[in-house]
């Protein structure tokens, strides 16, 4: 992991991931905005999805997509 003091500031996407939680759809792997994501509560955790289709796939086989 990069030291935030010496990390090159040109990579804004990496900085966003480094300093903030960026939800990732467990089905398709897309990084999401919490404001636009479809959310499912599963095993006491909030799972974020890019669309209802990915959410439905997860609901059918949650073990396949859970880390």
* CA separation for the pair 22, 48 (Å, rounded): 10
- The CATH number of residue 43's host domain is 2.30.170
pTM of the model: 0.68
* pLDDT for 22: 85
Is 33 within the bounds of a domain? yes
Q: How many domains does the chain have?
A: 1
Burial of 48 (0-12, 13-18, 19+ CB in 10 A): buried
What domain range includes position 51?
A: 22-65
Tokens 């939680």 map to which residue?
Answer: 21
Is 53 within the bounds of a domain? yes
Is 6 within the bounds of a domain? no
Higher pLDDT, 56 or 13: 56
What is the per-residue pLDDT across 20-40, written as a single tens digit (0 to 9) for each? 678 999 999 999 988 889 999
Is 3 within the bounds of a domain? no
């Amino acid at each position: 992991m990069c030291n935030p003091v010496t990390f090159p500031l040109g990579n804004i996407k990496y900085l966003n991931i480094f300093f903030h939680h960026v939800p990732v759809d467990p089905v398709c792997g897309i990084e999401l905005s919490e404001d636009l994501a479809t959310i499912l509560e599963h095993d006491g955790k909030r799972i974020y999805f890019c669309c209802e289709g990915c959410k439905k796939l997860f609901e059918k086989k949650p073990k396949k997509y859970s880390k």
